[in-house]
Structure 1
Amino acid sequence: MAAKKTIKIKQIGSPIRRPEHQRQTLIGLGLNKMHKVVERQDTPEVRGAIAKIPHLVQVID
């Protein structure tokens, strides 16, 4: 079985003064502090969450 593809996501924006749904999306991705990097499986759900908050996160290659 092949290994699942993963992506690294870095938080680059603060959730201060952002709508609650954007804060919850960050928490759902496992981000809660500036410049934190997490590794998640590359799924459509994760890509959709990233697309909702592109001003707060950055995908690292």
Structure 2
Amino acid sequence: MATIKIQQIKSKIGYPVDQKRTLEALGLRKIGQVVEKEDSPALRGMIRKVHHLVTVID
């Protein structure tokens, strides 16, 4: 299955707890950190929830 790279581009400070937990579930802790995950509908939903804090890298 394909993989997807996700990078945190903005701080989670000042955002709701559920969005902070979503970032932690994605494995993101610092600005600029990149993680590579298996692409799935659940992962796409998590990205959509915090789309203003992350970017998807090609």
Q: CA deviation at 1:24?
A: 0.1
Structure 2's unaligned 5+ residue stretches are none
Larger radius of gyration: 1
Q: CA deviation at 1:20?
A: 0.2
Deviations 1:23-56 (A, max 9, x none): 0000000001000000000000100000001100
2:40 paired residue among 18, 43, 46: 43
Alignment length (residue pairs): 58
RMSD: 0.4
Structure 1's unaligned 5+ residue stretches are none
TM-score when normalising by structure 2: 0.97
Q: Where has structure 1 moved over 2 Å in runs of 4 or more?
A: none
Q: Say yes or no: does 1:54 pair with 2:55.
A: no
Amino-acid identity (%): 53
TM-score when normalising by structure 1: 0.93
Alignment-derived partner of residue 25 in structure 2: 28
